[in-house]
Amino acid sequence: MSHEHVSNTKRIWFVFALLSAVTTVEVILGIIKPASLEFNHFVGLNLLNWIFYILTIFKAYYIVWAFMHMEGEKSSLRWSVVSPVIFLVLYLLFILLTEGHYIYGVFKDSTIKWNF
Amino acid sequence: MEATVTTANNEKTWGGGHEIQPLGASYGKMMMWFFIVSDALTFSGFLAAYGFSRFKFIETWPLADEVFTHFPFMHGVSAPMYYVALMTFILIFSSVTMVLAVDAGHQLKKTKVAIYMFLTIIGGFIFVGSQAWEWKNFIKGEYGAVETVGGSLLQFVDKDGKRVALEEFAVKLPNQPEQLSRAKAKWFMESAETLPTYSVADVQAGFKAHPELLIRTEHLTAEKKKTVLSRAESEARLNQAKYVVEGANLIRNEYGSKLFADFFFFITGFHGFHVFSGVIINIIIFFNVLLGTYEKRRSYEMVEKVGLYWHFVDLVWVFVFTVFYLV
């Protein structure tokens, strides 16, 4: 090992507590589903789902950075792993969700009934 | 080939020599990262496809809260979310024990590594078992439903909008189609599909006999609830029934959109397969730790590499959890 390793136990338990807390918040929100969040939209997505996605990314960040120890890697490795994933996932989501929405419109407005 | 050779005491030798390490990582670790990148893209593809189908049928997609309501030893109690939440905690915790094993490995503490690896394996098995239980409930179903000639799904509710199971009202009419089987000396006439407990006529007759029952369609209202029809509409709708659906398979399911069950099986199945193979790999590394393989190498980097895979499995679950159960 080139760099010396001090025990990280404290940080590990901290991240565990953090991830558990975030999951608990998600579950509580998922059960009570506050109407004020569920029926108010921001850029086509309701606030509750915004919160869920943001918390998911937040958890993903901590898993990759702390548990997978990405924070200790060289920035070249960090970028070569993270940037292709982010770019391709955003592209994939953009194209598939746009098309899915388009097909929804076709089914809804066309003269052919697909499901009755 | 030279680059992949691992010698007994220097695991991190690239073809270029000891000092040269591209991206500052050993060969094995870097390849694990790149495998994870490709696997992450595979899962993203699946989840994006799920999103595509959901956007396509956004007005009729099943509500997760009504599908995943079981909790062990709590029969008849609707407990949405609790069980998946438990599964999530199990997986996060097994990630913690894994990272503790990696941490102990850095300090070359063999016993500690072994104990934490063992706990990780146990956590993995509990998770896979939980998933199997979840699948069992999903496949078995709870209420049953009816599919119309046009392919939409009808569920049954009482006046208060509470779900009613088929067995609570369907009658057993005489002379209904019978399941053909080899045991009845009809090997040449075996039914292609398993017949449901009740036929369409059974359900229709039972519905007529219970005037308090109503039909619920797949359509979501503005309040994100399923549409409940009036009694007259319900009767008209039930006349179009073609199949009785109990539980879920890859062709149809009692929860709603056919694609919902297909994606559920495929994505959670693929994830469960990852967990299972992760457990197997962990077991192999666990025995290597016990045998002192890494002690002799003076490097526990293999534990770190399987750790990366294990955390990745946890990472995927975080997204599956959000997409299938929360959103």
Q: Could you tell me if B152 and B170 lie in one domain?
A: yes
Q: Give the domain extent around A102.
A: 72-115
CA atoms within 13 A on the CB side of A103: 15
A14 touches chain B (CB under 8 A): no
Q: Could you tell me if A66 and A93 lie in one domain?
A: no
Q: Could you tell me if B269 and B136 lie in one domain?
A: yes
The residue written with tokens 């960090």 in the block is: A78
* Smallest Cα distance from B185 to chain A, Å: 40
Q: Could you tell me if B288 and B216 lie in one domain?
A: no
Q: Could you tell me if A49 and A19 lie in one domain?
A: yes
Would the pLDDT of A3 be above 80?
A: no
Residue B196 has a pLDDT of: 86
Residue B1 has a pLDDT of: 43
Q: To the nearest whole number, what is the mean pLDDT of chain A?
A: 89
Residue B123 lies in a domain: yes
Q: Could you tell me if B134 and B162 lie in one domain?
A: no
CATH of the domain at B134: 1.20.120.80
Residue B164 has a pLDDT of: 93
Minimum Cα–Cα distance from A93: chain B residue:
B48
Asked if B56 and A73 come within 8 Å (Cβ–Cβ), the reply is no
The residue written with tokens 């929860």 in the block is: B255
Residue A2 has a pLDDT of: 42
Between chain A and chain B, the number of residue pairs with CB atoms below 8 A apart is 152
From the list B60, B89, B315, which residue is nearest A60 (CB)? B315
Q: Number of structural domains, chain A?
A: 2
* Smallest Cα distance from B32 to chain A, Å: 11
From the list A31, A69, A88, which residue is nearest B41 (CB)? A88
Q: Which of B14, B52, B94 to mutate to test the interface with A (most CBs of A within 10 A)?
A: B52
β partners of residue B248: B253
Amino acid at B245: V
Q: Could you tell me if B227 and B291 lie in one domain?
A: no
Q: Could you tell me if A11 and A48 lie in one domain?
A: yes
Q: Could you tell me if B264 and B121 lie in one domain?
A: yes
Q: Could you tell me if A61 and A22 lie in one domain?
A: yes
Residue B43 has a pLDDT of: 96
A37: confidence class by pLDDT, cuts 50, 70, 90: confident
Asked if A81 and B36 come within 8 Å (Cβ–Cβ), the reply is yes
H helical segments located in B179-230: 200-209
The answer to whether the complex's ipTM is over 0.85 is yes
Q: Could you tell me if A55 and A96 lie in one domain?
A: no
Q: Could you tell me if B44 and B128 lie in one domain?
A: yes
The gap between the terminal CA atoms of chain A, to the nearest Å, is 65
Q: Could you tell me if B167 and B100 lie in one domain?
A: no
Question: What angle, 0 to 180 degrees and rounded to 10, lies between the N-to-C axes of helices B110-140 and B82-106?
Answer: 160
From the list B25, B44, B224, which residue is nearest A92 (CB)? B44
Residue B235 has a pLDDT of: 93
Asked if B96 and A12 come within 8 Å (Cβ–Cβ), the reply is yes
Q: Could you tell me if B93 and B137 lie in one domain?
A: yes
Q: Give the domain extent around B284.
A: 38-141+260-326
Question: What angle, 0 to 180 degrees and rounded to 10, lies between the N-to-C axes of helices B27-56 and B301-321?
Answer: 10
Residue B242 lies in a domain: yes
Q: Could you tell me if B160 and B127 lie in one domain?
A: no
Q: Which of B183, B216, B246 is the last residue of a domain?
A: B246
Which residues between 32 and 61 in chain A have a beta carbon less than 8 angstroms from any beta carbon of chain B?
38, 49, 52-53, 55-56, 59-60
Would the pLDDT of A88 be above 90?
A: yes
Q: Per-block average pLDDT, block size 10, for chain B (327 residues)?
A: 49 61 85 95 96 92 89 79 92 95 93 96 96 94 92 92 91 78 65 80 93 93 90 93 93 92 96 97 97 92 95 96 92
